[in-house]
C-alpha cells in the first residue's frame, strides 16, 4: 500500500520523473547504482517509484547522484499533475509552507519559526521588487528604441531590427507580468504570516 506521507510521495514521483528525464530505464538505474557500490535491485526501485517501498537516506543520496540532481530537489519535488495540495508539502511541516520556502529550509537557508519565515518572505519580496524594477527599465528601454526607429518601425515591420525589438518587448512584458504576479502572491503570503502572529 502506498505511503500517505507527502515526502515519500514527492520522492517516489521525483525518482520516476528524473529517471525518465535522464532517459534511463529502471534496469539501467539499478546497474549504475550497483557500479557505484550502492546496489538497489530493479524491482526494489520500481517499488520505490510506486511508493510501495521506503527510500532510505542512503538510497536518496545515491539515486540523486546518479540522476544528476540533489537530495533537496528530490525531497522538495512536486508532481506536475498534482492538484492543489490539501496538506503540507513535506511530512511534519506546516501546511502553508510553499515549495520555495521548503527548499530554502531543506538547504539550511532559513528556519520555519514565525520570525524567520517573515524575514525570509520580506527578503524574497525585496528581491522581487528589484527584479520588477529591472524588467520595467529594460522594457522602457526597448519601447524607447522602437520609438527611435520612427518610420522604419512603421514601414518595415518585418525588418530584423524591428522584429528583435518586438520580441524583446514581448519577452519583457511577459517577464514583468510574471514578476508582478509573484509580487502579489508574496505580499499576500507575508500579510498572512503577519496576521497569524
pLDDT surpassing 60 at residue 52:
yes
* Band of pLDDT at residue 75, cut at 50, 70 and 90: very high
Question: What span, in angstroms and rounded, lies between the C-alpha atoms of 65 and 59?
Answer: 10
Question: What span, in angstroms and rounded, lies between the C-alpha atoms of 70 and 86?
Answer: 26
DSSP string, 83-100: -S-SS-SSTTS-TT--HH
Question: What span, in angstroms and rounded, lies between the C-alpha atoms of 7 and 19?
Answer: 18
> What value does the CA radius of gyration of the chain take, rounded to a whole number of Å?
23
Q: Among 31, 38, 107, which residue's Cα sits nearest to residue 74?
A: 107
- Which long-range contacts link 111-119 to residues 24+ away (Cβ below 8 Å)? 114/193, 114/196, 114/197, 117/193, 118/190, 118/193, 118/194, 118/197
CA within 13 Å, CB half, 175 = 18
Which sign, positive or negative, has the C-alpha torsion 100, 84, 116, 180?
positive
- What are the tens digits of pLDDT across the range 96-150? 898 899 999 999 999 999 999 999 999 999 999 999 999 999 999 988 888 887 7
Question: What span, in angstroms and rounded, lies between the C-alpha atoms of 123 and 177?
Answer: 20
Whether this prediction's pTM lies above 0.85 is answered by no
CA within 13 Å, CB half, 18 = 21
* Band of pLDDT at residue 1, cut at 50, 70 and 90: very low
Domains along the sequence of the chain with CATH: 6-106 (1.10.260.40), 114-196 (1.10.287)
- Helices then strands, counting H and E runs in the chain, come out as 9, 0
Amino acid at each position: 500500500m502506498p505511503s500517505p506521507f507527502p515526502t515519500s510521495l514527492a520522492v517516489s514521483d521525483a525518482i520516476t520523473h528524473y529517471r525518465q528525464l535522464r532517459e534511463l530505464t529502471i534496469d539501467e538505474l539499478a546497474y549504475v547504482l550497483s557500479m557505484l557500490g550502492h546496489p538497489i535491485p530493479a524491482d526494489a526501485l520500481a517499488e520505490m517509484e510506486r511508493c510501495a517501498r521506503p527510500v532510505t537516506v542512503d538510497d536518496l543520496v545515491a539515486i540523486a547522484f546518479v540522476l544528476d540532481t540533489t537530495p533537496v530537489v528530490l525531497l522538495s519535488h512536486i508532481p506536475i499533475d498534482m492538484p492543489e495540495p490539501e496538506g503540507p508539502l513535506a511530512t511534519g511541516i506546516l501546511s502553508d509552507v510553499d515549495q520555495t520556502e521548503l527548499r530554502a529550509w531543506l538547504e539550511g537557508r532559513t528556519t520555519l519559526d514565525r520570525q524567520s519565515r517573515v524575514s525570509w518572505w520580506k527578503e524574497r519580496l525585496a528581491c522581487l521588487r528589484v527584479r520588477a524594477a529591472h524588467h520595467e527599465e529594460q522594457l522602457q528601454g526597448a519601447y524607447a528604441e522602437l520609438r527611435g526607429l520612427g518610420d522604419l518601425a512603421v514601414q518595415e515591420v518585418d525588418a530584423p531590427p524591428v522584429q528583435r525589438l518586438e520580441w524583446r518587448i514581448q519577452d519583457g512584458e511577459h517577464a514583468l507580468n510574471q514578476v508582478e504576479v509573484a509580487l502579489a502572491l508574496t505580499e499576500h503570503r507575508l500579510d498572512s504570516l503577519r496576521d497569524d502572529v
